[in-house]
Amino acid sequence: RKQAENFSYRLELNGNRRRLTWEAMPRSIHEGVCCAILASDCLVFDTSIARRFADNGNLAINVTISMV
């Protein structure tokens, strides 16, 4: 967990004059995905949102990882 606190990440979807951005600090790999979902500390979107950002059926997600 201590090492995870040294980083931040950003997930970004762009399309059709829209932008969806999620920024957060990563969780420890020892906590697992379930902990992030239960804490609502994750980006979740359904297929209708995915379609709004898709380009010819392809969904691109830009990922940026930074040291803080």
Tokens of 56: 């010819």
pLDDT band at 46, cuts 50/70/90? Answer: very high
Q: What is the pLDDT of residue 6?
A: 93
Which CATH number fits the domain that encloses residue 35? 2.60.210.10
Q: Could you give the CA distance from residue 53 to residue 38 in angstroms, rounded to a whole number?
A: 26
Q: pLDDT tens digits, residue range 2-41?
A: 888 899 999 999 998 899 999 999 988 888 889 988 999 8
**Residue corresponding to tokens 């090492």:** 3
Cα–Cα distance list, 38 to 6, 9, 19, 24, 34 (Å): 23, 19, 25, 16, 6
- Using DSSP's 3-state secondary structure scheme, residue 45 falls into coil
Tokens of 2: 């201590």
Structural domain range at position 31 = 4-67
Indicate the number of domains in the chain.
1
